[in-house]
Amino acid sequence: MNKSTLHIAILESSKIICEGIQAILYQSDMDCRIRRLGTLDELIELLESNPVDILIANPLQFVNREKEIRKIRKSYPSLSIAGIDFGMMHKPSTLTDVTFTLYDSSEHILHLLLKLDKKSQSHSNEKEGEENLTRREVEVLTGLVNGMLNKEIADALNISIHTVVRHRKNIAMKTGIRSQSGLTIYAISKKIISIEDIDL
Amino acid sequence: MADLIDGNPYLLLMLQHFNIDFRVSDRTLLQLCHQYGISERLFLSIANLYNGSGTGGEQPFTRKDLLQVIDFLKSSHNYYRFDKYPQISAYIRQLQENHPEKELKLLEKFFNEYFTEVREHLDYEDEVAFPYFITLLGDDKYKNDRQVYSSREYSDHHTDIELKLKDLKNLLLKYITIDNDLDLRRKLFMSLYELEFDLYIHSLIEETILIPSGVDIEREQNE
Ligand SMILES: [Fe+2]
Ligand SMILES: [Fe+2]
Sort out which chain A residues have CB atoms less than 8 A from B155's CB and list them.
Answer: 67
CA neighbours closer than 13 Å in the CB half-sphere of residue A21: 27
A1 within some domain: no
Give the model's pLDDT for residue A192.
85
Same domain for A118 and A142: no
Is 90 exceeded by the pLDDT of residue A141? yes
Quote the ligand 1 centre to B123 CA distance (angstroms): 9
Residue A198's pLDDT band (boundaries 50, 70, 90)? low
Same domain for A189 and A102: no
Give the model's pLDDT for residue B191.
95
Same domain for A48 and A30: yes
* A57/B138 Cα distance (integer angstroms): 40
pLDDT tens digits for range A173-191: 999 898 888 999 999 888 8
- pTM score over 0.80: no
Confirm if B214 and B151 have CB atoms less than 8 A apart.
yes
Same domain for A93 and A52: yes
- How many other C-beta atoms lie within 10 A of the C-beta of residue B160? 14
Distance of CA A33 to the CA centre of its chain: 23
**Interchain contact, B55 vs A48, CB within 8 Å:** yes
* A82/A86 Cα distance (integer angstroms): 13
Of A75, A100, A127, which residue is a domain's last?
A127
Same domain for A143 and A96: no
> Which of B53, B218, B30, B199 is closest to B137 using CA atoms?
B218
**Domain segments of chain B: what residues?**
2-50, 63-222
Confirm if A55 and A43 have CB atoms less than 8 A apart.
yes
pLDDT tens digits for range A24-50: 888 887 778 888 888 888 888 888 888
Sort out which chain B residues have CB atoms less than 8 A from A177's CB and list them.
Answer: 167, 170-171
Of A127, A150, A165, which residue is a domain's last?
A127
CATH of the domain at A152: 1.10.10.10
Give the model's pLDDT for residue B11.
95
Under-50 pLDDT residues of chain B: none
CATH of the domain at A121: 3.40.50.2300
Give how many domains chain A has, as a whole number: 2
Give the model's pLDDT for residue B144.
55
Q: What residues pair up with A11 in beta bridges, in sequence order? A: A37, A57
Give the model's pLDDT for residue A124.
43
Same domain for A154 and A74: no
Residue A152's pLDDT band (boundaries 50, 70, 90)? very high
Quote the ligand 1 centre to B73 CA distance (angstroms): 6
Give the model's pLDDT for residue B54.
66
